Amino acid sequence: IYFLHLRGGEIMCEITACIIKDKQEEKVLETVEHVEAKGNIVTLVNLFGEKVTIKARFKSYNADNNKIIFESP
């Protein structure tokens, strides 16, 4: 089980989670605050409490464009 909490103190990040499927990048959720992974099941929660669960594996995180990328397994 992996946890990633992306907001610290008063600093809020505008992080967007995307998944790559069939070589195409698709937006999954914006303003992501929390990521939890159990095997290849990833749960994302945004600042508003919206929760999305996807079947994926972590690929990369880019702080320059505030994007976390997952790949379809």
**pLDDT tens-digit series, residues 37-61:** 999 999 999 989 999 999 999 999 9
Q: How confident is the model at residue 1 (pLDDT cuts 50, 70, 90)?
A: very low
Q: Residue 25: CA atoms inside 13 Å, Cβ hemisphere, count? A: 10
d(CA 68, CA 51): 16
d(CA 25, CA 10): 30
Q: What is the pTM of this model?
A: 0.81
d(CA 55, CA 42): 6
d(CA 31, CA 45): 8
Answer yes or no: is pLDDT of 14 > 70. yes
